[in-house]
A and B are shown apart, each in its own frame.
Chain A
């Protein structure tokens, strides 16, 4: 630490150069933070995806599929368990207040066990089939407590008597879970299905399933599609891992783009800081010779140069990533509401990457000057001939 004044003097020898270098590094790391933050968001989403879960939808029409399809899928080798997933889309009182009731069969808890809803809670709608369970956030939103009635007006789904108002009793309030920040409302599939006109009964939205072997789930998805290719309901099946990979924007691999941009920024900075430190050392060659003459070891000189090089890098990285974190929060205000790219997350891993990159840039920048310094001929350097 006793070198600090020396390093500070070196850094402040040409304040304009130092400040401009710092600004440049800050800008590059702002970009770095945004790009790596975006990747972090994709990775977080992808990490939550289960390798053995598979989603199956009707390939055409979007109007769902007969429940028989789910039963047929269950018979395909390699399929562990299938749940028929459906729901009622509608609104509460005013068309502006959209709400969704998930219709749950007895297998849904098995396929989506990771949601963290207890079996007892799932069982509530199996015991009292006419009711629903709400998450805390939904209960707050609709001002409901256990025992209240909840009426959802559906746009598409009619009741057997022709009305489109679905009334349920709130049986329980459940905890929210992270994967679904909007909360949930679920009810009993069979009960809701039987309340529909006979012609509409037995329809489901999609079939979701678990594979026996996570390693071959992609292959299983292809087999399911092939099995139904020439049926009345062709399917389109995809693993959750693939569906949630996220870094796909109209076919562009965003992670590749962001990675390239972050790398280009670092390369630009490397050249700038490398040149700055080389110049600084060149200008003070005689000074370093003096230091070595009065007993500074090669190691001490090396440490000094590395620190001098690291100072703007580390400071700039910190500032840049900080700005990126602030910008990331402002992005929703700047972008249109249907913006297709998620927000960057300045996760701990992003900070680690930024710090590692800053050190790498600092070390690479300092490498050549250090080489020159350790090989210097003190006598000729002192006489200004080096």
Chain B
């Protein structure tokens, strides 16, 4: 009888008897559910944030910032440079023949969170091409701001995090209060932000230069042409990015910190769960002593017995992980959350759940290994005699 078949048979016998050891087995399930529930609840934040950053970047658009800029906020593009950038080759043309490009502004505006704490929200400037560049932009309620007027529109999700973000509310800018006249959605990070007319906003916040220029590439492959034209002009000293790469770049480091904490806590909990797993599997092996001895006596190998123990631990642990993932998903997936200025949907993604299953397998293998060796090594005669 080959080993694989033996493993299958022994494991099946084993699984059928789990219900006899139900409570003890639940220790592994509950332990793992707690570990994974906590881990995925915390990671839903970084996952959601990364997802939102990813959604915001479109490979068909390019963002131009000043050389070395780490954010749009600390990038500066003077007006004459912006004109040169907009004349570069590789930019798609609007129906009227003008380049599909929009110099923009991006500034932090002091606001209060719903819980009363101080925070900043992003205020963006849109020029005449701002909407045309973003087919994902849709007005949800109210109307569009008028150019040259001190009016704002607000992303539909901003009000889930900040005070005073409804149509009809007023936002305090350095030159006084600006009314919010409409609400929009883009399905990405802009959904948490405020938008006004670039030139009017620049006057209000006393900024002479733009922050960045956003352009629609004439084709996905046009980026190289565009980049080459801009970077060969040393007077410009700017960095063009494919917009998707830009959001990848600025989201690269910032989730690390939070992830370190989330994984650190989960590892501590997993160690606790591991002890529980060891406990349960030793007890399970002891309880199955005669069954295992009988199997060995009728010719089953030590390996299939050992593997069946580990498989039991894996099955219970993965069940627990799935329960934990389900709890985290129910509680947090799709909820609106925010971190610093970013507003986004918390996400328990399939990738996270897959990782949770790997964790569960790892804990189970570690927790099942020693008991499985004991099961395989126990002398048959002694085990048969035991009551």
> CB within 8 Å of B: which residues of A?
16-17, 20-21, 23-24, 27-28, 30-31, 59-61, 218, 225, 229-230, 234, 236, 238, 242-243, 245, 248, 250-253, 257, 260-261, 264-265, 267-269, 271-272, 275-276, 278-279, 341
Contacts and interface: CB of A to CB of B under 8 A. Distances in A.
Contacts of B37: 264
A91 B280 CA distance: 63
B279 A24 contact: yes
A17 B116 CA distance: 49
B174 A278 contact: no
A265 B119 contact: no
B174 A60 contact: yes
Nearest to B119: A251
Contacts of A60: 110, 173-174, 205
A194 to B, nearest CB: 29
Interface in B155-190: 161, 170, 172-174, 176-177
A20 B274 CA distance: 9
B279 A264 contact: no
A16 B115 CA distance: 49
Contact of B340 (A245, A251, A260): A251
Nearest to A338: B257
B31 A271 contact: yes
Given A234-B172, A251-B339, A268-B276, A275 B27 contact: yes
Contacts of A28: 269, 272
Nearest to A320: B272
Interface stretch (B38-46, B72-80, B235-243): B38-46
A17 B282 contact: yes
A268 B273 contact: yes
A272 B339 contact: no
Interface string B290-313: 000000000000000000000000
Nearest to B275: A24
B160 to A, nearest CB: 11
A280 B309 CA distance: 22
A272 to B, nearest CB: 5
Interface of B: 23-24, 26-27, 30-31, 34-35, 37-38, 41-42, 45, 110, 112-113, 115-119, 161, 170, 172-174, 176-177, 205, 261, 265, 268-269, 271-273, 275-276, 278-280, 282-283, 337-340
B41 A269 contact: no
Which interface residue of A245, A251, A265 has the most chain B CB atoms within 10 A? A251
Contacts of B119: 251
16 contacts: A17-B283, A24-B276, A31-B272, A234-B172, A251-B117, A260-B41, A261-B269, A264-B34, A264-B37, A264-B269, A265-B269, A267-B30, A268-B34, A271-B31, A272-B31, A341-B261
A243 B265 contact: no
Contact of B272 (A230, A250, A269, A279): A269
6 interchain residue pairs of minimum CB distance: A27-B272, A24-B275, A230-B176, A268-B34, A20-B279, A271-B30
B205 A248 contact: no
Nearest to A26: B272
Given A229-B176, A252-B339, A268-B272, 11 more contacts: A20-B275, A27-B271, A30-B268, A230-B176, A234-B172, A236-B118, A238-B116, A242-B118, A251-B161, A268-B276, A271-B26
Contact of A20 (B35, B41, B45, B278): B278
Contacts of B273: 24, 268
Given A20-B278, A236-B118, A268 B174 contact: no
Contacts of A267: 30, 34
A234 B176 contact: yes
A28 B273 CA distance: 9
B6 to A, nearest CB: 28
A31 B339 contact: no
B27 A271 contact: yes
A364 to B, nearest CB: 14
Contacts of B30: 267-268, 271
A276 B279 contact: yes
Nearest to B271: A27
Given A267-B34, A272-B279, A253 B115 contact: yes
Contact of A257 (B42, B110, B174, B177): B42
A265 B34 contact: yes
B283 A279 contact: yes
Nearest to B162: A251
B interface SS class: helix
A250 B343 CA distance: 11
Contacts of A59: 110, 172, 174
Contacts of B31: 268, 271-272
A90 B249 CA distance: 36
B38 A261 contact: yes
A31 B176 contact: no
A333 B19 CA distance: 48
B276 A272 contact: yes
Contacts of B23: 275, 278
B369 to A, nearest CB: 14
Nearest to B35: A268
A264 B31 CA distance: 9
Contacts of A229: 170, 172, 176-177
A243 B119 CA distance: 11
Contacts of A17: 279, 282-283
A251 B110 contact: no
A31 B261 CA distance: 12
Nearest to B287: A279
Max chain A C-beta neighbours (<10 A), residue from B115, B117, B339: B117
A16 B282 contact: yes
Nearest to B339: A250
A356 B339 CA distance: 34
A236 B108 CA distance: 14
A23 B24 contact: no
Given A27-B272, A268-B273, A242 B116 contact: yes
Nearest to B31: A268
A122 to B, nearest CB: 29
A272 B25 CA distance: 10
Contacts of B340: 250-251
A268 B269 contact: yes
B364 to A, nearest CB: 15
B189 to A, nearest CB: 14
Nearest to B118: A238
Contacts of A251: 113, 117, 119, 161, 337-340
Contacts of A252: 45, 339
A245 B116 CA distance: 10
Nearest to B114: A251
